[in-house]
């Protein structure tokens, strides 16, 4: 087994968990194989059921604003403002939101507007018991071990903080939110921008050199390194392949159990 030694100055472990993403699997599959399809299959029904609720209207408003910003992009789907209360008008607007969501997802967009709606849909599903997060077997034991060693553990995801908390709060191992010290999403900055990692360090109250960032995306690893954050690249089944240069340059782990913490 390959062992990567955690630098002695590290006091914070920052996990890159996509929601859905790298750390979770269900029946051997990434959660993206169940969570993303759930959105596509249920978004129209969800909108029809929750349309009059304030939360849903806020989601639609944010999606409409994003659509306006995307107007110059090929294939972008506009979301009209209601011109009346007629049923046909409402159904046309709901269909426009559905089409916009489909378009964004087909282009792997990670906009705050899309993630917010997805998060609210997943919340309804998790709360109703229709979904549970299943973590790779090494994840929870490793996080417990890190915390026992005095480490703080944070999540940084392109998925919303709310969606992150859903995964940890509704897992097959129960509510394990207590194992996580805090959550960050793209509201603090994009994961491929080095400034985001400086902001995270400031928010935590530590130096960037006190952080070890675990990610499966080398562009994110590179951005973190530019901010003097320590990094290790996580290689999981289904993740994007690495180039030979990347395999040589980065510390690679296939399991969280491969991280060695110096005695404290």
Per the annotation, where are the binding residues for Mg(2+)?
16, 18, 216
In terms of Cα–Cα distance, which of 71, 78, 62 is closest to 111?
62
Residues annotated within a binding site: 16, 18, 157-158, 191, 216
Whole-angstrom CA distances from 184 to 20, 26, 157, 176, 197 are: 15, 24, 6, 17, 10
> What residues does 264 pair with on adjacent strands?
none
Residues annotated within a binding site for substrate: 157-158, 191
User: CB neighbours of 21 closer than 8 A, spacing ≥ 6?
Assistant: 30, 31, 32, 157, 159
> What residues does 174 pair with on adjacent strands?
171
Q: Let me know: does 240 contact 219? Beta carbons within 8 Å.
A: no
Q: Is 209 helix (H, G, I), strand (E, B) or coil?
A: helix
Alpha-helical (H) ranges within 172-261 are: 194-204, 218-226, 244-249
Alpha-carbon torsion, ordered 182, 129, 95, 70, to 10 deg: 20
What is the H or E stretch that residue 63 is in? Answer: helix 54-69
In terms of Cα–Cα distance, which of 67, 169, 183 is closest to 125?
169
């Amino acid at each position: 087994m390959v062992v990567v030694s955690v630098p002695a100055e590290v006091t914070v472990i920052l996990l890159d968990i996509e929601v859905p993403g790298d750390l979770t699997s269900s029946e051997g599959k990434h959660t993206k194989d169940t969570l993303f399809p759930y959105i596509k299959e249920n978004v129209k029904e969800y909108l029809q059921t929750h349309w009059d609720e304030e939360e849903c209207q806020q989601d639609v408003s944010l999606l409409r604003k994003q659509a306006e910003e995307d107007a110059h992009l090929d294939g972008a789907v506009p979301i009209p403002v209601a011109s009346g209360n007629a049923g046909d008008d409402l159904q046309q607007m709901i269909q426009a939101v559905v089409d916009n969501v489909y378009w964004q997802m087909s282009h792997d967009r990670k906009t705050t507007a899309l993630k917010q709606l997805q998060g609210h849909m997943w919340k309804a599903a998790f709360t109703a018991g229709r979904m549970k997060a299943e973590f790779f077997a090494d994840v929870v034991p490793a996080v417990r071990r890190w915390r026992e060693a005095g480490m703080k553990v944070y999540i940084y995801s392109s998925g919303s903080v709310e969606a992150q908390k859903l995964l940890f709060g509704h897992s097959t191992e129960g509510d394990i939110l207590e194992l996580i010290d805090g959550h960050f999403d793209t509201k603090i900055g994009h994961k491929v921008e080095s400034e985001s990692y400086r902001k995270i360090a400031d928010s935590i109250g530590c130096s960037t050199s006190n952080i070890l960032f675990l990610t499966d995306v080398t562009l994110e690893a590179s951005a973190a390194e530019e901010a003097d954050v320590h990094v290790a690249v996580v290689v999981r089944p289904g993740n994007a392949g690495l180039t030979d240069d990347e395999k040589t340059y980065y510390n690679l782990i296939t399991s969280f159990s491969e991280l060695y913490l110096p005695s404290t």
